[in-house]
Amino acid sequence: MNAMMETSELPAVFDGVKLAAVAAVLYVIVRCLNLKSPTAPPDLYFQDSGLSRFLLKSCPLLTKEYIPPLIWGKSGHIQTALYGKMGRVRSPHPYGHRKFITMSDGATSTFDLFEPLAEHCVGDDITMVICPGIANHSEKQYIRTFVDYAQKNGYRCAVLNHLGALPNIELTSPRMFTYGCTWEFGAMVNYIKKTYPLTQLVVVGFSLGGNIVCKYLGETQANQEKVLCCVSVCQGYSALRSPLSGHLRNETIVGIVIPRFIPRVESGLETQKSAEWRAQETFMQWDQCRRFYNFLMADNMKKIILSHRQALFGDHVKKPQSLEDTDLSRLYTATSLMQIDDNVMRKFHGYNSLKEYYEEESCMRYLHRIYVPLMLVNAADDPLVHESLLAIPKSLSEKRENVMFVLPLHGGHLGFFEGSVLFPEPLTWMDKLVVEYANAICQWERNKSQCSDTELVEADLE
């Protein structure tokens, strides 16, 4: 009898285990997919001004909820992975012309030029000058999708192909693109200004491209001539400084409050030493799988560099003095972008150390010199950009009337997919926002011009 009772209880025990297993799996799915996270409009950081009020009125996407695909869209990792692997869905193939520019050091820079497919909403000649992300170019799907949408909204588009990124274009000098080198982007902008003297510019940078365009604009006031506005999406602002914990003190640098990490006072000392984490060290941590992403991007960079091995390391090449043959062997064993930057990339421009390279190449020290309208966009769940780095655009937007910082809850790194349940739409929230912001700035400038003309007429009548 007891044996029969024990046997009848076994199925109940197994059923309980199955239910527990199912519950555990569902819990993991809910946590990993972040399904409990709410949808909300992006957080906005700006100063109250005529421009900001006009933007809020003219850009509905700034105040509407960003709604990602229900099943997976709230996971920054999945958004990032889909962008990295797939780029976009049903990506168009815009038709353009490839332009070649010979640089002063013998390098051959290329960019692709796409003419507008419709009249612009204000009727003016507007060119978007676009700088893609790390090792990217005009043939990437997310760039093609954005360019096609911009063309249909009346924009001419010029897209930089990072030096060495295109597999079918050989390097003609022992140098390739780096984290903050603006030479090729500047050459493209100068070509557009010379070829289209009546055009006005909208500057757009994605990820690493965001660092390059902001640095370019801040390098000299002349670089901002004919520029209507600038948009930077998913950049990290500084490769060196990243306040992570402890006491934060605001240190003013040329009118911008930059958060600095200050350790606790020990042994009753009145003086406090400022301690700064290196942002690249956050990229080496396993938090949010950054170390894994770092490895994948480093592996891709190694493949690109090694594909140009003869042009960069060949015996006939006049290499930079600091670049040695041993650096090639170190490149083979590199497992992070920092190792590649230290052994190879910084030496293209003669930097003595990785610290010097990151300090000089980061746009953070140039942001306060940008006077045109500037929109900085990041996602709160971007696994590549540590949340502490977002203190930089937040602080900037609190001090400068021309700056607006847009921070949606979701989107990952250059994902920002939209959709109902499972399948994403071809156009992303990011594509729409950049064009909507550019349209609003164009209208703002047109209104200012018309007001100025009216005032001149009234003055003449008086």
Q: Are 48 and 175 in the same domain? A: yes
Q: Are 316 and 375 in the same domain? A: no
Active site positions, annotated:
207, 382, 413
- Res. 98 pLDDT band, cuts 50 70 90: very high
Burial, 28: exposed, middle or buried (Cβ in 10 Å; 0-12, 13-18, 19+)? Answer: exposed
pLDDT computed for residue 251 by the predictor: 39
* 100 vs 316 pLDDT, higher one: 100
Whole-angstrom Cα distance, residue 150 to residue 109?
23
pLDDT at 380 exceeding the cut of 90: yes
Q: Mean per-residue pLDDT for 431-449?
A: 95
Alpha-helical regions (H) of 116-223: 141-152, 183-195, 208-219
Q: Are 191 and 149 in the same domain? A: yes
Q: Are 77 and 226 in the same domain? A: yes
Whole-angstrom Cα distance, residue 207 to residue 133?
5
Residue 308 belongs to some domain of the structure? yes
Q: Are 67 and 153 in the same domain? A: yes
pLDDT at 267 exceeding the cut of 90: no
Domain edge (last residue) among 320, 337, 358: 358
Q: Are 80 and 229 in the same domain? A: yes
- Res. 241 pLDDT band, cuts 50 70 90: low
Domain edge (last residue) among 300, 333, 358: 358
Residue 32 belongs to some domain of the structure? no
Query: Tokens for 366?
Result: 């140039």
Query: Tokens for 326?
Result: 């041993």
Q: Are 47 and 148 in the same domain? A: yes
Alpha-helical regions (H) of 314-408: 325-333, 337-343, 354-361, 391-399
At 206-227, the pLDDT tens digits run 999 999 999 999 999 999 999 9
Residue 36 belongs to some domain of the structure? no
Domain edge (last residue) among 310, 343, 358: 358
- Res. 286 pLDDT band, cuts 50 70 90: low
The mean pLDDT value of the chain amounts to 84
Tell the residue number behind the tokens 């670049």, with chain if given. 323
Q: How many residues does the chain have?
A: 462
pLDDT at 127 exceeding the cut of 90: yes
Residue 380 belongs to some domain of the structure? yes
Residue 368 belongs to some domain of the structure? yes
Q: Mean per-residue pLDDT for 146-151?
A: 97
Among 6-15, 167-176, 228-237, where is mean pLDDT lowest? Answer: 6-15
Tell the residue number behind the tokens 């005009």, with chain if given. 138
pLDDT at 15 exceeding the cut of 80: no
At 191-200, the pLDDT tens digits run 999 999 999 9
Q: Mean per-residue pLDDT for 396-422?
A: 94
Distance of CA 445 to the CA centre of its chain: 26
Residue 29 belongs to some domain of the structure? no
pLDDT at 186 exceeding the cut of 90: yes
At 323-352, the pLDDT tens digits run 676 778 889 999 999 999 999 999 888 899
Q: Compute how many other C-beta atoms are within 10 angstroms of the C-beta atom of residue 437.
A: 24
Distance of CA 177 to the CA centre of its chain: 16
- Res. 291 pLDDT band, cuts 50 70 90: confident
pLDDT computed for residue 263 by the predictor: 36
Q: Are 425 and 382 in the same domain? A: yes
Q: Mean per-residue pLDDT for 137-155?
A: 97
Q: Are 85 and 223 in the same domain? A: yes
Dihedral sign for Cα atoms in the order 392, 395, 398, 401: negative
Among 40-44, 191-195, 421-425, where is mean pLDDT lowest? Answer: 421-425
- Res. 22 pLDDT band, cuts 50 70 90: low
Q: Are 125 and 196 in the same domain? A: yes
Query: What is the domain-level CATH number for residue 79?
Result: 3.40.50.1820
Amino acid 98 reads R
pLDDT computed for residue 170 by the predictor: 93
User: CA nearest 414: which of 377, 374, 375, 367?
Assistant: 377
Q: Are 174 and 66 in the same domain? A: yes
- The tally of domains found in the chain comes to 2
At 45-94, the pLDDT tens digits run 999 999 999 999 999 999 999 999 988 999 999 999 888 877 788 889 99
* 432 vs 26 pLDDT, higher one: 432
pLDDT at 244 exceeding the cut of 80: no
Q: Are 223 and 115 in the same domain? A: yes
* 73 vs 228 pLDDT, higher one: 228
* Residue 130 zone, left/alpha/beta (φ > 0; ψ -120 to 50; rest): beta
Q: Mean per-residue pLDDT for 146-175?
A: 96
Residue 425 belongs to some domain of the structure? yes
Domain range for 179:
41-238+363-460
Residue 374 belongs to some domain of the structure? yes
Which of 266-270, 337-341, 408-412 ranks highest by mean pLDDT?
408-412
